[in-house]
Amino acid sequence: MKPVIVSGLKPSGELHIGNYLGMLKQAVELQNSNKYRCFYFIADYHALTQRYNPKEKAEEIYKMAVDAFSAGIDPKKSVIFVQSHVSEHANLAWIFNTITPVGKLQGMIEYKEKLSEGQIPNAGLLDYPVLMAADILLYKAEFVPVGEDQRQHVELTREVVRTFNDRFGKTFKEPKAVHTKAPRIMSLDNPTKKMSKSMPAGCLYLSDSPEVIREKVKRAVTDSLTGIDYDPEKRPAVSNLVLVYSEFSGVPIPEVVKKFHGVGYAKFKEELAEVITKTLKPFQEKRKKLLKDKRLVMSTLEAGTKKAKPIAQKTMKEVAKKVGLI
Ligand code: TRP
């Protein structure tokens, strides 16, 4: 049997290039390598832990699926579905809740970050990593492609595995997080902050038009030194742009630096905007088409649910027995 890969996409706002380069691009590559059984899902339950407008959520969930398909997640090669459609995710999370110390969850970086941003914590927000552990272990994943910000959550999943196996007998294997070469893209207008929708001027969305991309890249901060170089410590802003160029063009970083030796920021930015626009074009075209075909998208997701469900049920049954349920 091929090793299993699991990852989730949280539908809270549109995808930006940080999400794409940090996770989605790699998820597609792993799928296309043909070496794994890939399970990718829209993490709608996770999205409910943040304040949201219920009138908009359904559309966001649907659009996230469209984005995944448009980026190259292929239902012929991967199982793709919506988390809440496979109820075993929540069921297994409940079991894992009973073996996870609250103190551990209160210490999680992302949780503390959300609190410091002023979010009033609900129990679901605290429990977020436990649901993630359930997502991953239901399919007995070995590898979990995620952005850097999710590393600690995969670490918690490994702890859940150890605790569970200790108490109830060997059932799960510890999964490993896999990161891309660009697990953390910084905001174009502030290189000390991760790219995020909360800082829109520095955030490039996958659906941005060529004009918008050009404008945002043009306004990207650089530094007072001259020349294009890659040194994230000393020149974080320029290095971030070089990394984005490298990722979108497929040209390795040292060659990007060489290519733009002696070239001014304005010219470099023009070419950067160009390479981003060009790479995103097929994505955007596919997205436009799929957004008009809701029936196809929904039926594809349903077919994914049908494939995921029996596997999830099997694990859940095994777990129920081990923990002493009848
Ligand atoms: N928390 C992840 C994120 O914000 C999404 C996610 C939910 C996930 N469940 C997962 C990722 C399981 C990997 C595996 O990006």
Nearest CA to ligand 1 atom 3: 10
Report the first-to-last Cα separation within the chain, whole angstroms: 30
| pLDDT, tens only, 100-137 | 999 999 999 999 999 999 999 999 999 999 999 999 99
Question: CA-CA distances (angstroms) from residue 19 to 147, 149, 175, 244?
Answer: 7, 11, 21, 12
Mean pLDDT of the chain: 96
| Cα atoms in the Cβ-side hemisphere of radius 13 Å centred on 64 | 25
Residue pair 10/202 in contact by the 8 Å Cβ criterion: no
Q: Which amino acid is at 184?
A: R
SS3 238: helix
User: How confident is the model at residue 26, as a pLDDT?
Assistant: 95
Residue 194 inside a domain? The answer is: no
- Note whether 147 and 171 are same-domain residues: yes
User: How confident is the model at residue 296, as a pLDDT?
Assistant: 97
What value does the mean pLDDT take over residues 296-317? 98
| List of long-range contacts for 254-257, beta carbons under 8 Å, 24+ apart | 254/230, 256/228, 256/230, 257/228, 257/229, 257/230
Q: Is the CB of 150 under 6 A from ligand 1?
A: yes
Q: Is the CB of 10 under 6 A from ligand 1?
A: yes
Q: How far apart are CA 204 and CA 185, in angstroms?
A: 11
Q: Is the CB of 132 under 6 A from ligand 1?
A: yes
- Note whether 204 and 136 are same-domain residues: no
- Note whether 307 and 220 are same-domain residues: no
Q: How confident is the model at residue 325 (pLDDT cuts 50, 70, 90)?
A: very high
pTM (global) more than 0.85? yes
Show which residues are catalytic: 114, 194, 197
Nearest CA to ligand 1 atom 13: 7
User: How confident is the model at residue 226, as a pLDDT?
Assistant: 87
pLDDT at residue 323 is higher than 90 = yes
Domain around 263: 200-289
| pLDDT, tens only, 35-51 | 999 999 999 999 999 99
- Note whether 176 and 56 are same-domain residues: yes
- Note whether 112 and 219 are same-domain residues: no
- Note whether 262 and 130 are same-domain residues: no
- Note whether 159 and 210 are same-domain residues: no
Residue 16 inside a domain? The answer is: yes
- Note whether 140 and 165 are same-domain residues: yes
Q: Is the CB of 140 under 6 A from ligand 1?
A: no
- Note whether 78 and 153 are same-domain residues: yes
What value does the mean pLDDT take over residues 214-240? 95
Among 146, 160, 161, say which to mutate for ligand 1: greatest number of ligand atoms within 8 Å of CB. 146
Nearest CA to ligand 1 atom 7: 8
Q: Is the CB of 46 under 6 A from ligand 1?
A: yes
Nearest CA to ligand 1 atom 4: 10
Residue 193 inside a domain? The answer is: no
- Note whether 119 and 250 are same-domain residues: no
pLDDT at residue 217 is higher than 90 = yes
What value does the mean pLDDT take over residues 238-244? 97
- Note whether 76 and 42 are same-domain residues: yes
pLDDT at residue 198 is higher than 90 = no
Beta 190-194 vs 143-145: how paired, if at all? unpaired
What value does the mean pLDDT take over residues 26-43? 97
Give the residue, 307 or 13, on which the prediction is more confident. 307
User: How confident is the model at residue 183, as a pLDDT?
Assistant: 87
Query: Please, which residues have CB within 8 angstroms of residue 170's CB and are 6 or more apart in sequence?
Result: none
Q: Is the CB of 19 under 6 A from ligand 1?
A: no
How many folded domains does the chain comprise?
2
Percentage of the chain beyond pLDDT 90 is 96
Among 39, 153, 157, 185, say which to mutate for ligand 1: greatest number of ligand atoms within 8 Å of CB. 153
User: How confident is the model at residue 13, as a pLDDT?
Assistant: 87
User: How confident is the model at residue 222, as a pLDDT?
Assistant: 94
Query: Residue 139 is part of a domain; what is its CATH number?
Result: 3.40.50.620
Residue 190 inside a domain? The answer is: no
User: How confident is the model at residue 67, as a pLDDT?
Assistant: 96
Nearest CA to ligand 1 atom 6: 8
Query: Residue 263 is part of a domain; what is its CATH number?
Result: 1.10.240.10
